[in-house]
Amino acid sequence: MKTYKISFVAVIILLLANASTTKVAAQDLKGNISISGAFALYPITVKWAEEFKKINPNVKIDIQAGGAGKGITDVLSKVTDIGLVSRDLNTAEYKKGAFAVAVTKDAVIPTISTSSPYRKVLYEKGVKKDAFNHIFITGKYKTWNTLGFKSEAPIHVYTRSDASGAAETWAKYFNKKQEDLQGVAVFGDPGLAQAVKRDPSGLGFNNIVYVYDTKTNKPTNGVVPVPIDLNNNGKLDPDEKFYDDIDQLIAAIVAGKYPSPPARDLYFVTVGKPKNPIVREFIKYILTDGQKFVQEAGYIKFSKEKINKELEKVK
């Protein structure tokens, strides 16, 4: 009996010592992380960094937006620790050592100005995928009367000038590449939203967080979504009307009603499996405690199965 008591006490001491060591290790996490890339991921990454630094005050995280192309170029050139990429990676990038961890999901949506004279009818009819193809890809539809309006006014098409995950994903909806997109090229998500906002005849596309206000859940920035006529019947049916607020749109994406693409996963990319313990812990945090900020920031939470799959990559 005496031997048992000594062993039990020893086990308790070891457990306490281990817990203490773990706590100190978390508090002592120290160093820098540099991140650049997709505008789509920038807002939520800023939020994740702020929250991570609250529990790891000795970690400095520098984040710069500049498009998915900049993110993948910077990380593969080892200019940054993490690249933010808002599209699927290609074979060439994987061959160069790209290691991708999906961290959340969003979607690209077509947009018009809130001042568009075509807004009311578009919300009754929607726009067929084939019509979007003829606007953004073939260039066959150049005026608003091609969409059934009694107007010879030109459709002013806007796209992205930077190597963009949003543009690549929107083009992928038509089985094309970003370079196939027609229109006036504008830099960045904010720039594209502003260009469309100022032009009543404009038509563009943006990531969700640059269209909706996450506090009111309503469209903001002077742009609104253009509903997609998903069943091509020439009218917007009740189950296609999910653009009034961000919660409805997210629910439609989760349910698979909104197509993928242009819905897509968003990635943190490193060169090889991350060896830097700070980078590894930051990604683990994002896929665990950090997920509670995802929906309120206007993104889509992963299922538990998806999160566990992505966590396995960094263990």
pLDDT digits (tens, 9 = 90+) for 3-48: 444 444 443 344 444 443 333 344 578 999 999 999 999 999 999 9
**The pLDDT value given to residue 112:** 98
**The pLDDT value given to residue 220:** 83
pLDDT in tens, 97-147: 999 999 999 999 999 999 999 999 999 999 999 999 999 999 999 999 999
Do the strands 263-271 and 98-113 form a parallel or antiparallel pair, or are they unpaired? antiparallel
Q: Is the pLDDT of residue 95 over 60?
A: yes
Rounded to whole angstroms, what are the CA distances from 38 to 7, 18, 53, 202, 286?
Answer: 55, 40, 21, 24, 17
Of 235, 218, 299, whose CA–CA distance to 48 is shortest?
299
Total count of residues recorded for the chain: 315
**The pLDDT value given to residue 27:** 52
**The pLDDT value given to residue 19:** 41
What is the rounded CA–CA span in Å between residue 267 and residue 299?
Answer: 13
pLDDT-based confidence at 2, cuts 50/70/90?
A: very low
- Specify whether the CB–CB gap between 81 and 279 falls below 8 A: yes
pLDDT in tens, 200-225: 999 999 999 999 998 899 998 899 99
Beta bridge partners of 197: none
**The pLDDT value given to residue 221:** 81
Rounded to whole angstroms, what are the CA distances from 285 to 72, 266, 294?
Answer: 22, 16, 12
**The pLDDT value given to residue 24:** 37
Average of per-residue pLDDT across 272-288: 96
Domains of the chain with bracketed CATH: 2-100+266-314 (3.40.190.10), 107-263 (3.40.190.10)
**The pLDDT value given to residue 23:** 39
Residue 19, amino acid: A
**Whole-number mean pLDDT of the chain?**
91
